[in-house]
Amino acid sequence: MSQYQELKNMAKQIRRDIIEMVNAAGSGHPGGSLSAADILTTLYFEKMKIDPKNPKMEDRDKFILSKGHAAPVVYAALARRGYFSPEELPKLRKMGSMLQGHPDMKGIPGVEMSTGSLGQGFSTSIGMALASKLDKKDGRIYVLLGDGEMNEGLVWEAAMSAAHYKLDNITAILDFNGLQIDGKNEDVMNPNPLDKKWEGFGWKVITIDGHSFEEIIDAFNQAESTKGQPTMIIAKTIKGKGVSFMENEASWHGTAPNDEDKERALKELGGVR
């Protein structure tokens, strides 16, 4: 088994979970959840210092999903990591379920921040990193943003604050799949060149293939060793990654697969496990 095969297998399982839970819910956001699966797999199964049996562990690393609509990928990762039973996953968006359409820090073990309004999760993560510095805590803050989220002015205010306070204990990851709900980023509100923008705001910038476990892990290691400034990892990804008919299609941003779509997708992902 290759060095990264276990991570690849888990990412495939997480993608299957995403398809099944969004299908069962009849609503949700599969495209941007699938694009982030390899990043989340690396964080929860390789990188972060966490304990599912003690979710509030002192000095733990914290993950914040700023693009809160991609909740299915976080729920799948939390369930497979042992925070709660995978049997909860098909209850996504059901009445009485703890798994709401967006993450709920009061109802879901392992969720550090309730998110959904774009930009606010990132802004909160900056506050967490600053508080951690002031309290001399060891844990790192990881935050995932969507590229459509770059349209929010709040993101850039927070970015400026992080650089000003030299928050080298935060690693931001940009799920750069090139699409948002209304189409291509450059057609809706061109954010490019993002690397130069983030560098201009005082961040260390690392650009990677967001589906290469080797590059993802190396980028996280570089971020840890960077002192005196925050790090932004621009992860080039494919929206709908792993399901051929969803890949690079903006229409799958917020469309649930029907039963036929589900079966086709699961077949491509290796069947139900």
Catalogue all structural domains in the chain, each as residue range(s) with its CATH number: 5-268 (3.40.50.970)
Residue stretches of the chain with pLDDT short of 70? 1, 272-273
Give the sheet arrangement for strand 204-209, strand by strand.
62-65, 141-146, 170-176, 231-236, 204-209
Q: What local confidence, expressed as pLDDT, does residue 176 receive?
A: 98
SS3 104: coil
Q: Give this prediction's pTM.
A: 0.96
Continuous segment of H or E residues that includes residue 161 = helix 153-164
Q: What local confidence, expressed as pLDDT, does residue 1 receive?
A: 53
- Strands 179-180 and 183-184, how do they pair? antiparallel
Query: Tens digits of per-residue pLDDT, 107-147?
Result: 999 999 999 999 999 999 999 999 999 999 999 999 999 99
Residues 6+ apart with CB under 8 A from 19: 30, 243, 257, 262, 265, 266, 269
User: Taking the CB of residue 171, how many other CB atoms lie within 10 A of it?
Assistant: 28
Please give the structure tokens belonging to residue 231.
């790090």
